[in-house]
Amino acid sequence: MNELSAELTFLLWSVAITFIQLIVSLLGATVQHGLPTLAGNRENMGPTGGWAGRAQRAHRNMLENLILFAILVIVAHFAGISNEFTVLGAQLFFWGRLAYSFIYLAGIVWLRTAAFLVSISGSILIFLQLV
C-alpha cells in the first residue's frame, strides 16, 4: 500500500475538520431548536444564533473552501507536482482552517479573517505551482 503524500494527508485531515464542524453545528442547532424541530421539515424554524450560528457558518465556509483545496491537491497529485510550495500550501490551508474553526466559534472577528487569509494563501500557493 502506498503512503499518502503530505498534501493528500492534509486534505484528509481537512475533511476530518469539516466532519467535526458538522457535528458541532448539529449539536448547537439541537440545543437551540430541539431534536423534534431538526428531525422535522424545518419549516418556519427560526435562525440559529450565537455560537451555534457561528458553528453553522464556519462549517458552510469550510465546505466552500474545501472544494477548491481538494481540487488543487488532487490535480497536483495527478500531475505529479509535489514540492516544498505545495506542501507548505497544504499546511497553511489545514492550520489556517483549524484556527479559523476555533476562532469563529469564539466570535473573534479580525483574527478570524486573518486565519481565513492564511488558509486561502495556502490554496493560492498550490495553484501557482500548477500554472
Q: Could you give the CA distance from residue 92 to residue 111 in angstroms, rounded to a whole number?
A: 15
Is the whole-model pTM more than 0.85? yes
- Region 112-116: mean pLDDT is 97
User: Which helix (H) or strand (E) segment is 58 a member of?
Assistant: helix 50-79
pLDDT in tens, 29-40: 999 888 888 888
Is 46 within a domain? yes
- Tell whether 43 is covered by a domain: yes
Does position 4 have pLDDT exceeding 90, yes or no? yes
Instruction: Tell me the pLDDT of the chain averaged across its residues.
Output: 95
Residue pair 74/127 in contact by the 8 Å Cβ criterion: no
Instruction: Provide the domain count of the chain.
Output: 1
Q: Assign residue 43 a region (left: φ > 0; alpha: ψ between -120 and 50; beta: otherwise).
A: beta
Q: In this structure, is residue 1 part of a structural domain?
A: no
CATH number of the structural domain spanning residue 98: 1.20.120.550
Could you tell me the three cell numbers for 12?
A: 484528509
Q: Average pLDDT, stretch 30-56? A: 88
pLDDT given for residue 43 in this prediction: 83
How far apart CA 10 and CA 17 sit, in angstroms, is: 10
Q: Which domain holds residue 16?
A: 6-130
